[in-house]
Amino acid sequence: MTAGISNTKLKAILIDLDGTMFNTAPEISMAMNQTLQALNFETLSFNTIRQFIGKGVDNLVNQSLLASNEKGHTEKNKALKLFNNFYKRIAKQSKPYDDVESTLQFLQDKQIKLACVTNKPSCHTYLILEESDFEKFFDCIICGDEMEFKKPHQYSIDFVRKKLDVTEMETLMVGDSSNDIKAANNAGVSVATVPYGYQYEEPIENFPVSFALQQFSDLKHLVH
């Protein structure tokens, strides 16, 4: 536990979407393989695509193209359009992880300010949040295409913190990957990680964190 949160009342929790609140990998993998098929490229395994999730759609598409075809980068612009079209048809099928909804309700009832801070484009983010009726929990929703810089840059965390009028010591970032940890560290806020999700080539165990949650509902114990 960091000294900041132990001695200061936690007022705001910023939460990642992919791999933290929602299991989005099945739909992303399906849409990515539909994209590759449309380009006459070889499809990829679920686990291969899964490791590209979380650093933004540009990275997802680019890495998938290169993994499928050594000249895949030449089709990036076309692939981005195809992926977005395929994915928006099925994005809302993604389901939240266990206890996420009840935990968000608990935190909201405790008057904790909540924000969704994701690298995911807004068009896909809102499809998922609206379908699950999760929009109601958040005081602020920030997507990757709305910010000048994506995580691991601190920009989105700084923006949200100022909008919610909370200090670094009153803020906690929750995520599943090194992107979230680095962004929190860069912004000077505490960070909690979930043990599941999408960790790319950088396991979260390799990074010091404020709280290593065993499940999402452990967030309830951090509220005074």
Radius of gyration for the alpha carbons in the chain, expressed in angstroms and rounded? 17
Q: What is the distance between the alpha carbons of residues 27 and 66, in angstroms, rounded to a whole number?
A: 20
User: Counting every residue, how long is the chain?
Assistant: 224
Q: What is the distance between the alpha carbons of residues 38 and 34, in angstroms, rounded to a whole number?
A: 6
Q: What is the distance between the alpha carbons of residues 213 and 224, in angstroms, rounded to a whole number?
A: 17
Query: Cβ of 60: how many Cβ atoms within 10 Å?
Result: 25
Query: Cβ of 88: how many Cβ atoms within 10 Å?
Result: 14
DSSP state of 189: -
Q: How many angstroms from the chain centroid is the CA of residue 16?
A: 3
Supply φ then ψ for residue 214, to 5 degrees: -90, -25
- Position 151: which residue type? K
Positions marked catalytic: 16
Q: What is the distance between the alpha carbons of residues 224 and 210, in angstroms, rounded to a whole number?
A: 16
Query: Cβ of 198: how many Cβ atoms within 10 Å?
Result: 21
